[in-house]
Amino acid sequence: FQKTVDKRKEHTINIEDFRAIYRTIVHRTEFRELFCTYSQNHKILTEAELTEFLKKEQFETEGSETIALEIILKHEPIEEVKRRRELSFEGFIRYMSSEDCTIFKKEHQTVYQDMNHSLCDYFISSSHNTYLVSDQLIGPSDLSGYISALLKGCRCLEIDCWDGSNNEPVVYHGHTLTSKLTFSSIIHAVDKYAFVASEYPVILSLENHCSPKQQEVIASYLVNILGEKLLTSTIGDAAVNRLPSPEALKFKILVKNKKIGTIEESLLRRGHDSHGETGEISEEEATTDDEDTDERTPLCPRSNSSKRKAEDKPSSTPRKKAKLKKIKIAVQLSDLVIYTKSQKFVSFEHSRDNQKYYENNSIGEVKAQKFLKHSANEFVAHTSRFITRIYPKGTRTDSSNYIPQQFWNVGCQMVALNFQTPGVPMELQNGKFLDNGGCGYVLKPEFLRNQNSTFNPYNVGRYSQPMSLSIRLISGHQLPPSSLSKSNKADPLVQIEIYGVPEDQTKRKSSVIKSNALSPRWNETFSFTIQVPELALIRFCVEDEISLVSNDFLGQYTLPLLSLSKG
């Protein structure tokens, strides 16, 4: 623009100048080179030449003639060229810059997976302490936490309920200074936004600290505000010993909470007024690695380091004799829990012998990481049978996140993250759940659904189906300048990262292109061999090299490896 103005010595430009500026920015040389490879006269692509391009470059083997014609009709701006069934360079650029050429597979942008498996067979997009929009100690609680999570396709929300004044239950992070929301306001928001992004079921994970009296208030809000959306009884044949499918539970909201007795007993009470009735369940209290067995630990920052030492000991330390604590539960709330009963986790063995198919466990990240190290096979066997939720350890008071991939690798369905905190963990989460139309449910690979599976992410053996991946990094276009750069020009480089089973974890780095954020060219090729492609994510991260030791983040894009389009 500056060059054009300087040339004409005026502060205005005419249409020809505008076209010249447009061409400088949009008619990129890498497009021109590609176009000229297939266009004989370097001016237009005939239908046959475009078909050739689609076969060779875009790997369109079937129906490439039809696709070629569709591209011409959709993207060619010059009517006369369109009538001749040809594509001008301008039309070619419009096609190359369109949604048709996105790296994310078109067929994965809608729900394409079988949604009739048991709920247990899916990875489920899950959020931790959804009401918080900042840190875990003094920050605000806000309805926007729930609304934005639901609009991102999140299907499992967490609600911490406490007794409030005037018999109004409130939601906040107990024993901290985070602000409070009324329980009813959250349920109104859920009612309004639950099925905007996805029609598949939403699970409300209640962490309930209320008295039986206010638990009844919670139950009445759930019933009265959610109405027909609330799941209050079994569907289909109640005798079947497996969870229903996301398809069968479409547009339903499920309550996850502790429960008295069995589903059958709840159903027998239907129509009976259980107002004022309570039941009691006994639970073991704290063990030695209490650091993250219970989200209820008061989160006051402690300087006491003995607490820290306890959490790092391996689980073979002798357990203190567990005290039993009794928890009172209102029957009215208990009866709203159908397929998602919260069950205290004891051990994989105990679950295998005693746990019912509709009982789910929550395991803190520290404990879960020990299981990854010492009993990955049992972990996989457990998640093939029962929904398992992982949550961040209590010491993450800044709302930081762990890397979720490690827990997806063993089939954990609900890997709960702090959605308000940007960074690699949430980028992996968003990338993984782009799959299957962004509906919040992604079918687990067969080896994580099969109850006889011997899959172990640390030793994949016969489960390996190696895939070779070749990525040619061509160019960048109009990258944002770094916030730290003095000159407004970035020195961009690209990192290509694979997340998956440990054997597949890898990182490659491109060269640095000095002071060119407008149109850096790399032309570098990277090759990878992926052992378990079904679990792999690929992350492209663009950075600005600030110094030899530090880079500034410019942008990233993460997607499942199997959702990559060729071409």
Confidence class of residue 73 from pLDDT cuts 50, 70 and 90? very high
Asked whether residue 109 is assigned to any structural domain, the reply reads no
Asked whether residue 290 is assigned to any structural domain, the reply reads no
Q: Of 124, 123, 152, 129, which Cα lies nearest the Cα of 391?
A: 129
* CA count, 13 A, side-chain hemisphere, 298: 6
Alpha-carbon dihedral sign for residues 163, 167, 172, 178: negative
219 with 357, same domain? yes
Asked whether residue 309 is assigned to any structural domain, the reply reads no
More confidently predicted of 41 and 303: 41
pLDDT attached to residue 546: 86
231 with 353, same domain? yes
Percent of the chain with pLDDT over 90: 81
pLDDT attached to residue 323: 80
pLDDT of 292 higher than 60:
no
Helix (H, G, I), strand (E, B) or coil at 105: coil
Confidence class of residue 10 from pLDDT cuts 50, 70 and 90? confident
Asked whether residue 318 is assigned to any structural domain, the reply reads no
pLDDT attached to residue 286: 54
Confidence class of residue 183 from pLDDT cuts 50, 70 and 90? very high
More confidently predicted of 335 and 316: 335
Which pair of structure tokens corresponds to residue 373? 């190290």
Of 126-140, 323-337, 470-484, 505-519, the range with the lowest mean pLDDT is 470-484
**Residue type for 171, please?**
V
Count of the separate structural domains present in the chain: 3
pLDDT attached to residue 267: 87
Which pair of structure tokens corresponds to residue 567? 């071409």
Q: CB count, 10 Å around CB of 276?
A: 11
Question: How confident is the model over 190-207, as a mean pLDDT?
Answer: 98
pLDDT of 462 higher than 50:
yes
Q: What is the CATH number of the domain that holds 204?
A: 3.20.20.190
Of 2-16, 288-302, 388-402, 464-478, the range with the lowest mean pLDDT is 288-302
Q: Are 169 and 163 in contact (CB under 8 A)?
A: yes
Confidence class of residue 394 from pLDDT cuts 50, 70 and 90? very high
Domain boundary among 448, 473, 508: 448
Maximum CA pair distance of the chain? 87
Q: Can you spell out the DSSP letters for 121-176?
A: GEEE-BBSSTTBSS-SSSPPB-HHHHHHHHHTT--EEEEEEE--GGG--EES-TTS
Q: How far is CA 474 from the centre of its chain?
A: 28
238 with 357, same domain? yes
Q: What is the CATH number of the domain that holds 78?
A: 1.10.238.10
As a whole number of angstroms, the distance between CA 541 and CA 198 comes to 28
As a whole number of angstroms, the distance between CA 458 and CA 229 comes to 42
* CA count, 13 A, side-chain hemisphere, 394: 23
Question: How confident is the model over 21-39, as a mean pLDDT?
Answer: 94
Asked whether residue 312 is assigned to any structural domain, the reply reads no
Confidence class of residue 8 from pLDDT cuts 50, 70 and 90? confident
66 with 125, same domain? no
Confidence class of residue 500 from pLDDT cuts 50, 70 and 90? very high
141 with 263, same domain? yes
- Catalytic (active site) residue 128: yes
**Residue type for 232, please?**
T
pLDDT of 297 higher than 70:
no
Q: Of 216, 171, 184, which Cα lies nearest the Cα of 333?
A: 216
Q: What is the 3-state secondary structure (H, E, C) of 490-526?
A: CCEEEEEEEECCHHHCEEEECCCCCCCCCCCEEEEEE
Domain boundary among 67, 101, 135: 101
Of 41-55, 114-128, 435-449, 481-495, the range with the lowest mean pLDDT is 481-495
Which pair of structure tokens corresponds to residue 164? 């409030």
As a whole number of angstroms, the distance between CA 257 and CA 358 comes to 12
Find the catalytic residue in 108, 117, 128, 382. 128
Asked whether residue 460 is assigned to any structural domain, the reply reads no
Question: How confident is the model over 289-300, as a mean pLDDT?
Answer: 44
Question: How confident is the model over 141-164, as a mean pLDDT?
Answer: 97
Which pair of structure tokens corresponds to residue 260? 């008295």
As a whole number of angstroms, the distance between CA 532 and CA 473 comes to 23
329 with 221, same domain? yes
Which pair of structure tokens corresponds to residue 402? 């762990």
Asked whether residue 301 is assigned to any structural domain, the reply reads no
Q: Are 232 and 250 in contact (CB under 8 A)?
A: no
pLDDT of 319 higher than 70:
no
Find the catalytic residue in 108, 117, 173, 382. 173
pLDDT of 160 higher than 70:
yes
Question: How confident is the model over 118-124, as a mean pLDDT?
Answer: 98
Confidence class of residue 283 from pLDDT cuts 50, 70 and 90? confident
pLDDT attached to residue 330: 97
364 with 250, same domain? yes
Confidence class of residue 320 from pLDDT cuts 50, 70 and 90? low
pLDDT attached to residue 442: 98
Percent of the chain with pLDDT over 70: 92
pLDDT attached to residue 483: 75
29 with 175, same domain? no
Q: Which DSSP state fits 444?
A: P
pLDDT attached to residue 238: 59
Q: Which DSSP state fits 11?
A: S
Using the structure block, give the residue that is written with the tokens 């018999």.
Answer: 167
pLDDT attached to residue 360: 97
440 with 469, same domain? no
Q: What is the CATH number of the domain that holds 537?
A: 2.60.40.150
Question: How confident is the model over 438-451, as a mean pLDDT?
Answer: 98
pLDDT attached to residue 321: 62
User: What is the chain's mean pLDDT, rounded?
Assistant: 91
Return the bridge partners of 206, or none.
159
179 with 48, same domain? no
Helix (H, G, I), strand (E, B) or coil at 504: helix
396 with 480, same domain? no
Asked whether residue 91 is assigned to any structural domain, the reply reads yes
Domain containing residue 128? 119-267+277-282+323-448
pLDDT attached to residue 358: 96
pLDDT of 31 higher than 70:
yes
Confidence class of residue 281 from pLDDT cuts 50, 70 and 90? very high
pLDDT attached to residue 293: 42
Return the bridge partners of 265, or none.
none
Please give the C-alpha separations between residue 521 and each of 96, 274, 485, 515, 539, in angstroms, as whole numbers.
17, 70, 20, 12, 19
pLDDT attached to residue 491: 92
82 with 10, same domain? yes
Confidence class of residue 366 from pLDDT cuts 50, 70 and 90? very high
Q: CB count, 10 Å around CB of 301?
A: 8
Q: Of 74, 95, 98, 101, which Cα lies nearest the Cα of 85?
A: 74
